[in-house]
Amino acid sequence: MNEKNWLRTLAERVNPQTTALIILDMLKANPDAPPSMEIPRIRGPLQHLIQLIASGRRVLLPIIYVRNSHSDWTVLANLRYAWSSQPNYSPHHYAEGTRAVEFHDGLEPKEGEAILIKHSYSAFAHGPLDLMLRCRGIKSVLLTGGAVMGAVEAAAKECFVRGYYLVVVSDCVVPASGPDHEIVLNQATERLGAIVAPSDEIMRVWDALPAKENEGFFGRGETG
């Protein structure tokens, strides 16, 4: 591709016509679930994320909510083995039909927004995420959610190898600071060409755009 077509700037990478917001694993979980997604760690990123979603909806940003679902039908032997040495992990923590797979309050998908169920760390594994992005003409992806060393890191690498530009929303991932946060975001910048930006910087770009009305299914058309 000619260099003039590269998406270099934040404004280019958050263009609602060619960008999707992916929200990873922001779920209530069960009381005995792993500590990585405890409410105190989520509270800050969740509030920033709710504001980011509202701003994105104003300009009809495509939004994809991704949630876990585990059962005897979807847990491979190697994953079960890995969990066997981690007493805090179990397929039952994200059992279908329980509060564990419900999105946190404030993250209620609206009509036209997508919900994707995943069964492993990667949102791309065993599912149609790449197809969904390509059908909408997506060129860049905003990554949010948690855990940063799990689902976020896995999605970032998959996005990169599939040809998408990356923006990691620094205050909308879990945890929002600390060693895991720094390692993943630094690697995304240095190895994957990602832009790391806080939610308020992204929202300022969208605030400068006119609000749009939903034109319904097929109303979006191809972006080229």
CA 207 to chain centre: 21
Question: What are the tens digits of pLDDT across the range 89-144?
Answer: 666 667 777 777 889 999 999 999 999 999 888 999 989 999 999 999 999 999 99
212-222 mean pLDDT: 63
For the segment 2-20, the average pLDDT, to the nearest whole number, is: 94
For the stretch 168-200, pLDDT in tens is 999 999 999 999 999 999 999 999 999 999 999
Do the beta carbons of residue 83 and residue 89 sit within 8 Å?
A: yes
Half-sphere exposure of 138 (CA within 13 A, CB side): 28
Residue 65 pLDDT: 98
pLDDT at 180: 94
Instruction: Tell me which DSSP letter residue 30 carries.
Output: -
Q: Around Cβ 84, how many Cβ atoms within 10 Å?
A: 10
- pLDDT for position 76: 85
Beta-carbon-side half-sphere exposure of residue 67 (alpha carbons within 13 Å): 23
Q: Which residue has better confidence, 42 or 157?
A: 157
Length of the chain: 224
Share of the chain above pLDDT 70, in %: 87
What is the distance in angstroms between the CA of the first residue and the CA of the last residue of the chain?
A: 14
The residue extents of the domains of the chain are 11-67+104-207
Looking at the DSSP bridge assignments, the partners of residue 24 are: 66, 145
What distance in Å separates the CA atoms of residue 224 and residue 74, rounded to the nearest whole number? 36
pLDDT of residue 224: 44
- Residue 90 sits at the vertex; the CA angle it makes with 86 and 93, to the nearest 5 degrees, is 130
Rounded distance between C-alpha atoms, residue 81 and residue 24, angstroms: 24
Evaluate whether the domain defined by 11-67+104-207 bears CATH number 3.40.190.10: no
Q: What is the mean pLDDT of the chain?
A: 88
Residue 214: per-residue pLDDT? 78
The per-residue DSSP string of 156-191 comes to: HHHHHHTT-EEEEEEEEEESSSSHHHHHHHHHHHHH
Distance CA 56, CA 19 (A): 10
CB 147, CB 36: distance < 8 Å: yes
